[in-house]
C-alpha cells in the first residue's frame, strides 16, 4: 500500500460519515464504497444497514437499543447494568478452585496475507493486529510469567517463523516490532502454519500446555494437503487451537477450535477484537484426565520440574560477557548450576539448559491458584452494621440508595466479603478481584 | 509537574514498639517517632499546596485509615493562632485516630497486608477520579519482622502496585531486614532503608523519602543492590539454589519428592529417577530426611487447589 494513501486516510478518518463522496472516492470508513472491493462487499460487520445478523453477531444485534437513559436522562443506569453483567459473569464462574495450567506454551499465528491490508479496522487490520498483539504479549507474560510464546506468520502460502519460542517478553516483542519485515502479501495457509507450530511444540513435556492462537483475517486458506489431517494430528498431540477471525466465521476455523477445545470468535470491531484476544490471557483450566485409572494413578499432567534460582549480580559488579547475547555487562543473573551469566530471567540457561526463574516469578502465578472469594452484594439495608458508612478499603462514603437493584448488583452499593464481613464499594470490589487479588479486610 | 500523592503505612505493633523504645543501642519511643513522623508529613503537604496525603495504620489484627486529605474529619480541631491550619488539622487527626484505635492490646501480628491493600485501593480510587495522578507512592514504616504467612498477599500487592505504577518505599525502623519489603521496594523502583541510627529518623525520612520519584532520578537516593531472589523450599524452609517445583501448584522442594505436600499430586516415578540421577553429587551427601517423611504443609489455604487429578 503506498504511504500516500494512508496519509489521505488519516485526514478524513475522524468522521465515519463523510459525505463528500464525489470529491474523494477514497473515503471508506465503516461504510465501504471502494469500487474495486469485490470480496468484502457482503461482509456483515461493515454494513451500516442491518439486513440480517450473522450468527456470530447474534448477541450484538442492535446493541445500542439496550442502552437506555433513565428518568434524569443519564446513562448511569446503563453503565451500572454493564458492570452488573461483568460481576455476574464472575459470580457464575466455578466457585471451587479449578486446576489451571501454569506452565504454558503458546504459538501466536499472525495472518500476514493481503487480506490484512483491509481498512475496515483502523488504521488497517494489519496495524491493529500488531498493536494488539504487542499488548497481548505484554499482558500474557504478566499473568503467565513461566510461559513461552513463539510467533509464526502466514504469508504467501507459507508458514514463516517470525519469532522463536521464548520466555522473555522483550524478545518476543522485538520479533514483531518491525512492521516492514512483516508486510502482508499473498494468501495465507492455515495448514502450513499450524503444522509449523505443531512441529515446534512436539517435544514439550506433558505438564505444560500447548496452545495455538490464530489471528485470521482472510476468508480463504491455501493448503498443500488435507487440513483435516492436521486437525486430527493436533487433537492427538493435545494442542489447543483458538482462532480470532477478523473477517467472518469459517467452518474450518470453527472446527479447529471445537475439536481441540479452543475458543473461536469473530471480531465485530476494534474493541471486540481486543476483548477476544485478552480472553485468552488467563491460564486455561487443565483438561479432565481420564479417571478410569482411578485416583491412585499418577497424573500424567503433573510433574516435578527442576528449576534454578539465580544470584543477581549488583549493578556495580565487574564487567563480563553474558552467554545469551555475548555483550559486556555488569548486571545479570548467575545460573546456579553452571555459573554462566544470563541477562534476564525467566529463561532456560543457554549452557546447561536449566530453567532459571526468580522467586517473584513463581509468586506472580499464585493468584491464579488462590483467588479471592467473590463478594456478596448486600441487598438489605437492615444487614448493614452500625458505624460502617464508608468503604472499608478506600474510605469512600457509600451511596444512600441506588435506583435499580438487579441480580448481582447491590441496591445500596455494598459488597461484603464472606470471610471478614466488611463492606466494600463496587470500584474496590472490581479492583480487589481483578488487580490486587487480596482482600483488604482479611488480608488473604 | 503535577502534584504528588503519598500514602504512608505505619506499623503500630505495640509489642514491637515497646521493644524499640527499650532498645540498648538506639532507642526510639513511639511518641518521639510520631512527632518526627508528623514533621515529615507536614513537610510533604508544605512542599506543594496540591499534594495529597493519606495515612494508614497496621494494628494488631486489623488495619485502618487514620487520615486522608480528601476526606477531612467531620469536626475541625480548635484552631490555634500560632499554627498553620493544614498542619494542625493533619496532626490532630492522626493523633486522635491513633489514640482511638490503639486501645485493645493483642498478641496478633500487625495487619500490614490489610493496610497496604487499603492504600492501593485508595490510590485506585483517586486515579479513577483524576485522570492525571502523578507519581503515586506508598511509604511503609515497619517495625515488625517478616510474616511468612503473608508472603503471597504481599507479593500480590507488589504486583498490583507495579501495574498501577506506584512506587513503594520501605523503611525498617526496628528489627532485622525484611526480605518482603526489600523486594517490594526493588520491584516497584522505590528505596529501602534499614535504620541504624533511629534518633535521626526525621533526617532519613526527609532526605530519602520526601522527594517524589520523578525528582529522585537526579538525586542520589539509597538503592538496594543485593537482594536475595532465591526461594525457600516449602519442606524445610531452606534457602536453595536449585529446587524442584510442582507443576500444578508451584510448591518448591529441595529434593525430588514423590507426592506434592501442598496439592497431593503424585509425580511419575520416571521423573523422580531422572531428577535424582541428575542432581549434583555434592548435594546428595548432605544430610537429608527420607523422601517418605511428610513435609510440613504450607500455612496458607493451599489445599483448595484441586486434588489429585479429579478437577477439570
Q: What is the pLDDT of residues A40-60, one digit of tens each?
A: 444 444 444 445 556 666 555
Choose among A300, A301, A309: nearest Cβ to B240.
Answer: A309
Choose among B63, B226, B246: nearest Cβ to A304.
Answer: B246
pLDDT, position B130: 63
Chain A interface test: which of B114, B181, B267, B272 (most A C-beta within 10 Å): B114
ipTM above 0.85, yes or no: no
- The confidence band for A213, taking pLDDT boundaries of 50, 70 and 90, is very high
CA A396 to chain centre: 32
Q: What is the DSSP secondary structure assignment for residue B60, as one 8-state letter?
A: B
Q: Is B213 helix (H, G, I), strand (E, B) or coil?
A: helix
| Closest of B265, B36, B249 to residue B257, by C-alpha | B265
C-alpha cell of residue B202:
526525621
Cis peptide before A346 (omega within 30 of 0): yes
| Closest of B123, B109, B112, B219 to residue B163, by C-alpha | B123
pLDDT, position A46: 42
Query: With DSSP H G I counted as helix, E B as strand and the rest as coil, what are the percentages for chain B, rounded to 5?
Result: 40, 15, 45
CB-CB contact of B111 with B61 (8 Å): yes
Query: Among all residues of chain B, which has the CA nearest to that of A143?
Result: B159
User: Of A57-66, A242-251, A279-288, A378-387, which one has max mean pLDDT?
Assistant: A242-251
> What is d(CA B210, CA B191) in angstroms, rounded to the nearest whole number?
11
Q: Which range has the worst mean pLDDT, A116-130, A357-371, B22-36?
A: A357-371
> What is d(CA A175, CA B284) in angstroms, rounded to the nearest whole number?
42
- Inspect the interface and report whether the beta carbons of B225 and A315 lie closer than 8 Å: yes
CB-CB contact of B63 with B97 (8 Å): no
Q: Which helix (H) or strand (E) holds B152?
A: helix B151-163
Over chain A, what is the mean pLDDT? 77
Q: Is B266 helix (H, G, I), strand (E, B) or coil?
A: strand
Q: At a CB cut-off of 8 Å and minimum separation 6, what does A126 contact?
A: A112, A116, A117, A179, A182, A184, A217
Q: What is the DSSP secondary structure assignment for residue B209, as one 8-state letter?
A: I
Q: Is A395 on the interface with B (CB under 8 A)?
A: yes
Q: Is B4 helix (H, G, I), strand (E, B) or coil?
A: coil
C-alpha cell of residue A264:
473461536
Q: Which helix (H) or strand (E) holds A236?
A: helix A227-236
- What count of Cα atoms within 13 Å lies in the side-chain half-sphere of residue B160? 26
To the nearest whole Å, the CA of A144 is away from the closest chain B CA by: 13
- For residue B187, give Cα distances in angstroms to A170, A171, B40, B129, B159: 17, 21, 25, 26, 8
pLDDT, position A240: 92
CB-CB contact of A100 with A368 (8 Å): yes
Domains of chain A plus CATH, in order, are: 98-279 (3.40.50.410), 307-369 (no CATH), 376-435 (3.30.40)
Q: Considering only CB atoms, which chain B residues are within 8 Å of A285? A: 312
> What is d(CA A125, CA A116) in angstroms, rounded to the nearest whole number?
5
Chain A, window 317-336: residues with a beta carbon less than 8 angstroms from a chain B beta carbon: 336
Query: With DSSP H G I counted as helix, E B as strand and the rest as coil, what are the percentages for chain A, rounded to 5?
Result: 35, 15, 50
- For residue B68, give Cα distances in angstroms to A54, A128, A371, A387, B71: 53, 42, 30, 18, 6
Contacts of A403-408 with CB under 8 Å at 24 or more apart are: A403/A70, A403/A77, A404/A77, A404/A80, A405/A379, A406/A81, A406/A84, A407/A84, A407/A88, A408/A84, A408/A87, A408/A88, A408/A91, A408/A377
Confidence check: pLDDT of A118 > 70: yes
Q: Considering only CB atoms, which chain B residues are within 8 Å of A340? A: none
User: Left if phi > 0, otherwise alpha if psi is -120 to 50, otherwise beta: which for A369?
Assistant: alpha
Q: Is A250 helix (H, G, I), strand (E, B) or coil?
A: coil
List chain B pLDDT tens, one digit each, 312 residues: 567 899 999 999 888 898 888 888 888 888 999 999 999 999 999 988 888 899 999 988 888 899 988 877 666 777 778 888 888 888 888 998 888 887 766 778 888 999 999 999 999 888 877 656 678 999 999 999 888 788 888 989 999 998 888 999 999 998 888 888 988 998 898 899 988 888 889 999 999 999 988 888 888 887 766 777 777 788 887 888 888 888 888 888 888 888 888 788 888 888 888 888 877 654 444 434 433 333 333 333 333 333 333 333
Q: Is A302 helix (H, G, I), strand (E, B) or coil?
A: coil
Place of cell 534476564: A344
- For residue B186, give Cα distances in angstroms to A41, A170, B87, B111, B228: 55, 20, 32, 22, 11
| Closest of A197, A139, A143 to residue A173, by C-alpha | A139
> What is d(CA B215, CA A182) in angstroms, rounded to the nearest whole number?
40
The alpha-carbon radius of gyration of chain B (Å, integer) is: 23
Q: Which range has the worst mean pLDDT, A62-71, A181-190, A298-307, B70-79?
A: A62-71
- Inspect the interface and report whether the beta carbons of A440 and B117 lie closer than 8 Å: yes
Confidence check: pLDDT of A4 > 90: no
Place of cell 435499580: A404
CB-CB contact of B38 with B45 (8 Å): no
> What is d(CA A101, CA A238) in angstroms, rounded to the nearest whole number?
13
Q: At a CB cut-off of 8 Å and minimum separation 6, what does A116 contact?
A: A124, A125, A126, A129, A184, A217, A218, A246
| Second CATH level (architecture) for the domain B4-217 | 3-Layer(aba) Sandwich (3.40)
- Inspect the interface and report whether the beta carbons of B113 and A443 lie closer than 8 Å: yes
Choose among B227, B267, B308: nearest Cβ to A303.
Answer: B267
CA dihedral B204, B210, B213, B217 (to 10 degrees): -60
Q: Is A41 helix (H, G, I), strand (E, B) or coil?
A: helix
To the nearest whole Å, the CA of B71 is away from the closest chain A CA by: 8
Backbone angles phi, psi at A69, to 5 degrees: -80, 150
- The confidence band for A346, taking pLDDT boundaries of 50, 70 and 90, is confident
> What is d(CA A128, CA A111) in angstroms, rounded to the nearest whole number?
12
- The confidence band for A162, taking pLDDT boundaries of 50, 70 and 90, is very high
- Choose between A405 and A358: higher pLDDT: A358
Q: Report the first-to-last Cα separation within chain A, whole angstroms.
A: 54
CA A299 to chain centre: 28
Q: Considering only CB atoms, which chain B residues are within 8 Å of A428? A: 121, 124-125
CA A6 to chain centre: 28
Backbone angles phi, psi at B179, to 5 degrees: -65, -35
Q: Which helix (H) or strand (E) holds A334?
A: strand A332-334
Q: Is A295 on the interface with B (CB under 8 A)?
A: yes
Chain A, window 11-50: residues with a beta carbon less than 8 angstroms from a chain B beta carbon: none
pLDDT, position B302: 36
Handedness of CA A387, A393, A397, A401 (dihedral sign): negative
> What is d(CA A94, CA B293) in angstroms, rounded to the nearest whole number?
34
Is the pTM for the entire model greater than 0.90? no
Q: Considering only CB atoms, which chain A residues are within 8 Å of B159? A: 363-364
Amino acid at each position: 500500500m503506498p504511504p500516500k494513501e494512508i496519509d489521505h486516510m488519516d485526514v478524513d478518518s475522524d468522521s465515519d460519515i463523510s459525505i463528500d463522496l464525489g470529491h474523494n472516492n477514497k473515503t471508506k470508513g465503516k461504510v465501504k464504497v471502494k469500487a474495486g472491493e469485490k470480496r468484502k462487499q457482503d461482509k456483515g460487520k461493515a454494513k451500516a444497514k442491518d439486513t440480517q445478523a450473522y450468527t456470530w453477531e447474534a448477541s450484538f444485534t442492535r446493541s445500542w437499543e439496550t442502552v437506555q437513559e433513565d428518568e434524569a436522562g443519564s446513562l448511569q443506569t446503563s453503565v451500572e447494568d454493564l458492570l452488573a453483567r461483568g460481576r455476574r459473569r464472575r459470580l457464575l464462574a466455578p466457585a471451587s478452585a479449578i486446576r489451571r495450567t501454569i506452565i504454558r506454551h503458546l504459538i501466536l499465528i499472525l495472518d500476514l496475507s493481503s487480506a490484512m491490508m483491509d481498512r475496515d479496522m483502523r488504521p488497517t487490520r494489519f496495524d491493529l493486529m500488531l498493536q494488539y498483539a504487542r499488548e497481548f504479549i505484554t499482558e500474557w507474560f504478566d499473568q503467565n510469567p513461566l510461559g513461552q510464546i513463539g510467533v509464526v506468520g502466514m504469508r504467501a502460502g507459507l508458514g514463516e517463523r517470525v519469532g522463536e519460542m521464548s520466555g522473555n517478553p522483550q524478545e518476543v516483542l522485538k520479533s514483531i516490532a518491525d512492521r516492514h519485515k512483516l508486510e502482508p502479501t499473498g494468501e495465507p495457509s492455515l495448514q502450513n502454519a499450524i503444522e509449523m507450530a505443531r512441529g515446534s511444540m512436539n517435544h514439550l513435556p506433558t505438564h505444560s500446555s500447548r496452545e495455538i492462537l490464530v489471528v485470521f483475517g482472510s476468508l480463504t486458506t491455501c493448503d498443500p494437503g488435507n487440513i483435516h489431517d492436521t486437525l486430527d494430528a493436533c487433537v492427538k498431540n493435545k494442542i489447543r487451537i483458538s482462532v480470532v477471525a477478523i473477517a467472518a466465521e469459517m467452518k474450518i476455523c470453527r472446527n479447529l477450535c471445537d475439536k481441540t477445545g479452543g475458543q473461536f470468535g469473530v471480531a465485530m470491531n476494534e474493541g471486540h477484537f481486543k476483548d477476544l484476544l485478552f480472553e485468552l490471557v488467563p491460564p486455561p483450566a487443565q483438561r479432565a484426565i481420564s479417571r478410569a485409572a482411578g485416583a491412585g494413578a499418577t497424573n500424567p499432567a503433573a510433574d516435578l520440574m527442576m528449576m534454578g534460582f539465580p544470584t543477581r549480580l549488583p549493578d556495580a559488579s565487574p564487567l563480563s560477557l553474558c552467554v545469551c547475547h555475548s555483550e559486556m555487562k555488569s548486571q545479570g543473573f548467575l545460573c546456579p548450576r553452571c555459573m554462566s551469566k544470563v541477562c534476564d530471567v525467566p529463561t532456560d540457561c543457554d549452557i546447561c539448559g536449566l530453567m532459571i526463574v526468580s522467586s517473584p516469578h513463581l509468586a506472580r502465578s499464585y493468584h491464579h491458584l488462590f483467588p479471592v472469594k467473590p463478594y456478596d452484594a448486600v441487598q438489605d439495608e437492615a444487614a448493614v452494621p452500625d458505624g460502617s458508612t464508608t468503604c472499608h478499603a478506600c474510605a469512600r462514603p457509600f451511596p444512600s440508595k441506588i435506583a435499580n437493584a438487579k441480580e448481582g448488583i447491590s441496591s445500596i452499593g455494598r459488597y461484603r466479603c464472606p470471610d471478614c464481613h466488611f463492606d466494600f464499594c463496587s470500584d474496590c470490589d472490581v479492583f480487589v478481584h481483578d488487580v490486587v487479588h487480596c482482600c483488604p479486610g482479611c488480608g488473604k | 509537574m503535577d502534584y504528588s500523592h503519598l500514602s504512608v503505612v505505619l506499623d503500630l505493633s505495640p509489642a514491637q514498639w515497646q521493644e524499640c523504645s527499650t532498645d540498648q543501642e538506639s532507642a526510639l519511643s513511639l511518641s518521639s517517632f510520631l512527632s518526627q513522623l508528623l514533621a515529615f508529613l507536614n513537610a510533604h503537604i508544605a512542599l506543594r499546596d496540591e499534594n495529597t496525603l493519606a495515612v494508614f495504620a497496621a494494628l494488631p489484627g486489623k488495619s485502618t485509615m487514620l487520615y486522608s486529605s480528601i476526606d477531612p474529619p467531620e469536626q475541625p480541631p480548635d484552631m490555634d493562632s500560632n499554627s498553620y491550619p493544614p498542619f494542625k488539622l493533619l496532626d490532630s487527626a492522626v493523633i486522635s485516630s491513633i489514640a482511638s484505635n490503639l486501645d485493645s492490646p493483642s498478641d496478633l501480628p500487625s495487619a500490614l497486608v490489610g493496610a497496604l491493600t487499603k492504600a492501593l485501593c485508595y490510590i485506585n480510587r483517586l486515579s479513577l477520579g483524576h485522570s492525571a495522578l502523578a507519581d503515586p507512592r506508598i511509604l511503609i514504616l515497619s517495625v515488625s519482622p517478616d510474616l511468612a504467612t503473608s508472603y503471597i498477599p504481599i507479593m500480590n500487592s507488589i504486583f498490583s502496585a507495579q501495574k498501577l505504577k506506584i512506587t513503594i518505599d520501605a523503611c525498617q525502623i526496628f528489627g532485622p531486614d525484611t526480605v518482603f519489603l526489600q523486594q517490594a521496594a526493588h520491584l516497584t523502583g522505590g528505596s529501602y532503608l534499614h535504620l541504624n541510627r533511629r534518633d535521626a529518623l526525621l533526617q532519613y525520612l526527609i532526605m530519602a523519602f520526601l522527594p517524589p520519584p520523578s525528582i529522585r532520578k537526579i538525586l542520589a537516593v539509597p538503592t538496594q543492590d543485593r537482594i536475595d531472589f532465591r526461594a525457600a523450599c516449602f519442606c524445610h524452609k531452606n534457602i536453595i539454589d536449585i529446587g524442584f517445583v510442582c507443576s500444578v501448584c508451584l510448591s518448591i522442594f529441595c529434593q525430588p519428592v514423590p507426592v506434592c505436600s501442598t496439592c497431593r499430586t503424585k509425580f511419575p516415578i520416571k521423573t523422580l529417577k531422572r531428577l535424582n540421577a541428575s542432581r549434583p553429587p555434592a548435594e546428595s551427601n548432605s544430610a537429608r530426611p527420607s523422601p517418605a517423611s511428610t513435609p510440613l504443609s504450607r500455612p496458607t489455604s493451599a489445599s483448595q487447589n484441586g486434588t489429585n487429578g479429579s478437577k477439570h
